[in-house]
Amino acid sequence: MKSFFRMTYPYILWIGIFIVAPMLMILLYAVTRSGNSTLTFQFTLDNFAKFFSDPDFMKVLWTSLRIAFITTVFCILIGYPAALFIANLSERTQTLMVLLLTLPMWINMLLKTYAWRGILMNFDMESEVKVFIGMVYDFLPYMIIQIHTAIAKLDRELLTASYDLGANKWQSFLKVTLPLSVPGIISGITLVFLPAVSSFVIPKLLGGGNYVLIGNLIEKYFLVAGDWNFGSAISLIMALIIIGSMWLTKKIDRNAEEE
Domain that holds residue 196: 84-146+178-259
Which amino acid belongs to residue 238? Answer: M
Asked whether residue 11 is assigned to any structural domain, the reply reads: no
Asked whether residue 60 is assigned to any structural domain, the reply reads: no
pLDDT tens by residue, 165-214: 777 888 888 888 888 888 889 889 988 998 898 888 888 888 876 778 88
40 band by pLDDT with thresholds 50, 70 and 90 = low
Q: What's the domain count of the chain?
A: 1
- Conformation bin of residue 154: beta by default, left when phi > 0, alpha when psi is -120 to 50: beta
Asked whether residue 141 is assigned to any structural domain, the reply reads: yes
CA distance 212 to 193: 17
Say what the pLDDT of residue 3 is. Answer: 65
CB 254 within 8 A of CB 246: no
pTM of the predicted model as reported, rounded to 2 decimal places:
0.84
pLDDT of 106 strictly over 70: yes
Asked whether residue 155 is assigned to any structural domain, the reply reads: no
Asked whether residue 182 is assigned to any structural domain, the reply reads: yes
Say what the pLDDT of residue 83 is. Answer: 93
pLDDT tens by residue, 63-94: 889 999 999 999 999 999 999 999 988 888 99
SS3 221: helix
Asked whether residue 77 is assigned to any structural domain, the reply reads: no
Helix (H) or strand (E) holding 172: helix 169-172
- DSSP code per residue over 47-83: HHHHHHH-HHHHHHHHHHHHHHHHHHHHHHHHHHHHH
Say what the pLDDT of residue 2 is. Answer: 61
208: number of CA atoms within 13 Å, CB side?
Answer: 10
Say what the pLDDT of residue 218 is. Answer: 87
Which residues make beta-bridge pairs with 116?
none
pLDDT tens by residue, 43-62: 888 889 988 988 988 998 89
Say what the pLDDT of residue 74 is. Answer: 95
pLDDT tens by residue, 118-170: 888 888 888 888 899 999 999 999 999 999 999 988 877 887 788 777 778 88
Asked whether residue 55 is assigned to any structural domain, the reply reads: no
Asked whether residue 153 is assigned to any structural domain, the reply reads: no
Which residues make beta-bridge pairs with 32?
43
SS3 176: helix
CB 167 within 8 A of CB 175: yes
pLDDT of 110 strictly over 60: yes
Say what the pLDDT of residue 211 is. Answer: 74
Which position has the higher pLDDT, 153 or 258? 153
